[in-house]
Structure formats: C-alpha cells, structure tokens
Structure 1
Amino acid sequence: MNATDADDRMADPAVGVRQASRRRSGVHKRRRSRAAVRASRPVAWYARMRALLALPPIAAAALAGAMLLTECEADGRSPERAQAAAGSAAGRVEQLGVKVLDVLPHDPKAYTQGLEMAGRTLYEGTGRAGESSIRLGPPGRPPTVRADLRAPLFGEGITVLGPTLWQLTWRDHIAIERDAGTLAELRRLPYTQEGWGVCHQPGRGRLVTSDGSARLTFREPQTLAPLGELVVTLHGRPVPRLNELECVGDSVYANVWPSNGIVRVDADTGAVTAQIDASGLLTPTERQHAEVLNGIAAVPGTDEFLITGKWWPKMFRVVFVAR
C-alpha cells in the first residue's frame, strides 16, 4: 500500500479501534453518546497507532489485543469471548528472535504481500493497485516467471497447492487460481472477506486465511468455502491485524501488521505459542525506504525461514532462537 492505502486501512471502521476509555473522577460524568464516540474515532485511532508503532513488536501485539477487547466491552459486544477465555489457559509463550544465516537480495520495488517456498522455488505476491504481481524463481535471484495484475486489483496473500496456487486480493472480493508452473490464470472465485494472508495445511485438507482482524478462517482448498474459524489470542486477549501467513505442521505463523513482529499460533486453539521479534534486520538508511516486515516462508525440510518486507532491499534466511 502507499500512504493513502495505509490511511484507508487504518481509518476504515471495519478495522478501526473505538475509543472506549473514559476519565473517572469524584464527579459523575455523563457517558458520551455513540455518535460522539464514532465521530472521535479517527483521531483516537491515529493516536493509538502512534503509540503502537513506538513499542517493540512483541509488546505492540499484546497492546493491540487489549485495545480491541476494550472496544468490544465498550460497545456491549462479545466477540468470541468464550474462545478468548479458553485461549488464556496454561501454556508458556516463547519469546524468540531471529538468527541470520544468510542475506539475499530482494527487489526493493516489491511491495511484498505473500511469500512461500515450494520445493526449491520461491513464490512471491506483491501489492498496490497497478503494481501487483506474482513471481516465481530461485530465492535471491531475479524471478523466472511473472504475472501482473491489472488495476484496480490489489494483490495480497498467496499459497501453493501442488500444481495450482491461490492469489487473494485485498478489497476486490476476488480470489485467483493460477497454474503453479506458468502462473497463467485458471479461474476467479468470489471472495466475500478482505483478503490479507493465506496458507495451506495439506495434512488437514484446508486453507487458513486472515482478513486483518484477530480471526483465522479455515477454507476448503478448491471452492474456498468457509469450514470454520477461530480467534487468535495472547493470554486470552485477541491479537488483531494478522496479515501474511505461513502454515508449518499444526502451527500458523502470522505477521502482525504494522509491526516487525510475528506470532506462532496453535491452529487448534488459536493460542499464541511464541512471539518472534524480527526487528533490527535493516539498517537505519534501508528503513527510510522500506515499510514493515511482511513475508515469511518456511524452507522445506529445514527449521529455517525466509523473511522479508514491503520494499525491502534484502531477504534473510533465518532460524528462530530464544531471546
């Protein structure tokens, strides 16, 4: 996204966080009307976003979850509260960092939205209307095959299913199936939610998708029909703005937008089992021309990952280690 796209996503009431806290004193004060709360939402939202961006990524994910929970309580809603409570059950959350094994070149013009390895081939989906694409090739080398999306389509997450792959779009309500070898478009299906991230759990026979909320939706791989969903929680609190996804066994790794943090999620319960701080990979000069981390691909047959970000000039081969 460009700055305007980011502002749209941040100010959108579907993903915005309502201002719910009120000053308390010895003098009782009347509650603000819902209309007043709605009117003040953009200002409060930007103020809170600035606070989030000032925090380390690990703390930002937890604070964002708390903010969303407060919003729900203020509106009298109860979004999957039973599951959130269950997600707070015992279980140590590992605190991990990244150990860099290798540094690879990455297209600094690629607004990365999806990253996935299939065998020795790296697939990457990029975003922004008029600049979206999908590419494949060896990691660290120029792509050997590329397909572009015409405006106004805004490319998002991708995942490979053997001979085919899926490419989501953000708010265009379209999912595109492609040939995994040629990237030729095979068909388009309607997609009712916002498209953010997607990954494939072949052992479970399902896809896992995100829509920028704290919710993960399971889908049938051929029709994209919903099969169920769960809310991702950290110590019982929802973790919103889940973005690019990577499925590894029974776990789902999710980038948390707009941070350089990753959470590892138990795909059965939705509970976060690890928080990964991937900050500090770019130099201060490189960060001036780049946006946040968004791209995580497991390297088959290893415990290694490839990670990169939007407009990053580098890709990193890493392992996650205790901090």
Structure 2
Amino acid sequence: MGEKKLLNRNYKDLMQPHLITGEERYLIKQLLGKIENKFMDSGEKYDKIKLEDGEDNFLRELNQSVYNIGMLSDYKFIIVECNDLFSRSTGFDERVIEIINDTPENAAIFFYAVGGVDGRLKTVNAIKKAGEFVELNTPRSGELKRWINKKFQALDKKPDRELVEKLNFLFGEDLEALNKEIEKLATFKFADENLYFEECKDVLSQEGITGEKIIFELVDCWARGDKPEAVRLYREIIKNGRSPLYVLSMLKRQLRLLLSVKEARKAHGDNHRQIAGHLQEHPYAIKKCLKQEKKFEREELLAALKKLLRANRRIVRGKYVDKKDPVEDFLLQI
C-alpha cells in the first residue's frame, strides 16, 4: 500500500496492524503525524501509546497496550519503534505474530522500522497478510527539488531555481535538515513571497556549506587512499554538531551522483552543463564530480555504496560492534 492510499482512509479503517519502513526517519514521523491528525479530527477519544522493541518488558507492554480495555477511550493508536523485530529473528516473534493476526477492532497498530526490513521474516509476511505494509521512498534528484518546492509552497513562499538547487546540493537527502533550513529561510523572509538565493545566501546554514566542502574532501581522501585524513575530516564534521547519519546521507548522495555522472559522460562527454541538465543537478556540482568520478571504477563506487548502506543500517538499529563508530569503520574499509 502507498502513503496516499493509507491517508485517504477513514480513521476507523485503520484498526489493524501496519508496518511502515523507509530510509528517512523524518518521512515516517511525518506520516505518523498525519495519521494521528485523523484521530484528533474525528473528535473520538483515543489512547496514544508509544513503545520500542528494545525496551525491558516490551512483549508484556505490547500485549497490555493492545488488549487492555480503555476506561475513558474508544480507540487505541499504538506506535511501535522496531530496531530488531522486522530485521532479524527474535525470541518473541511468534507472540507478535499472534497479536498481528488477532488485532482488536479498536486498535490501530503502527510498527515502524527505519532503514528497511527483511522481507523473508515471518513477522513481515504476517503483516502483509493480516495488515498493511507501507514503504516510504526518499525523494532523489528531480523529485527532491519538487519536494523542496512543495515545502516552500506550504509556507506560501516561492523560491527561485538557484535557491532550490543550492539547498538540494548542500543538504542532499537529509530531509529533516532540509525542512529546518526551509522553515528558517521562510521565517527570515516572512514578509516576502518570493525568495531569491542572492538575498538568502548569507542566512544559509554554514553547517551545510561546510559539510559540502568536507564531503568532497572525504571522497578525495578515499581516492588517494588517505584513510587517516578521511577519519579526521569525519570527526571534524561530528565536532561541528552534525550527526553520523547526516554524513552517511551526504556520502550516499555523492556516491550516487558520481555513478550518475560516470554514466552520463558516455552520452555527453565532459560537458558539465549538458550533464547537469540531464541529471537536473547544479552545474557547479557536476563540474566537481567530473573531476572526481575519473578516479574510480564503477565497481568501486557500487561496492562502497553497499558498505555505506550497511553502515547506515547499523546506526539506525543501534548495532555498534565493540562501540566502534560505523562511519569510521566504513571510511577505514573503503
């Protein structure tokens, strides 16, 4: 099931188990917020219950939340953050499957897993049979620019093309950081409908600008095999307040962009403006990528991207081996 179909449902039609998954926690939280609005707008009394599968007594808490009778409410809106439940086998899979197959008519259960699930698991298949499975895709490239424009439109603002491209370039697929930046710019220019890059550039987050520069340097370090310098640059970003997930998001975007540029060169040569138009990216970014992508074979980039996605899953699921930082591990392995 898609997000739109889910949101088109009446709140009473949500009384079943759901599993929401995606790479971006921000998108999942946004969807859950919209779903809760359905309950709030209905005027019905409901209990909102939040659980996490890593908590002590999780199974008991889940069982009580689903089956206990609410004294002052008619419905239950249950949100369960899952770190392990749908990504590997656990000791309480069978009981969870029983709950999935026997969800009361007054309970809307929303399990969610950031970073994806293992479709081979019995728990995932149980959801698909008895409830609804929703996978949220992170907007990329041209879709991401449309996403940025829609966010501005919701705030009654019209950004110029250069501002949209710069935001896309600086923050990539870090949607939470993008949203905060958009809200900040809208507040800064609260009296103006039209927003122009030249008028806003001094307000753009220096974290994003610094991050852009360092990400390029990180990839250059990889190209010349200087792993210690790559780790030093990563630690500098973290010291400046950015999260490991932000760094992975920017690295992921850069690797994908390098792969796209490598492919586009077959048709457009080294014409960075033509490639930029084809990929709907900023010419400045493509010009820099043209220099970088020649240092790598396609297979190297694909292998690095797979390792990066594994590091991303370790972070979102809290799977740190021997307390090692997954991003540092990634930088030392590539």
Same fold (TM over 0.5): no
TM-score bracket for the superposition, by shorter chain length? under 0.3
Q: Which has the higher contact order (CA 8 A, sep 6+)?
A: 1
Structure index of larger Rg: 2
Identify, as 1 or 2, the structure richer in helix. 2
**TM-score for both structures, normalised by structure 1:** 0.24
TM-score, normalised to structure 2, is 0.24
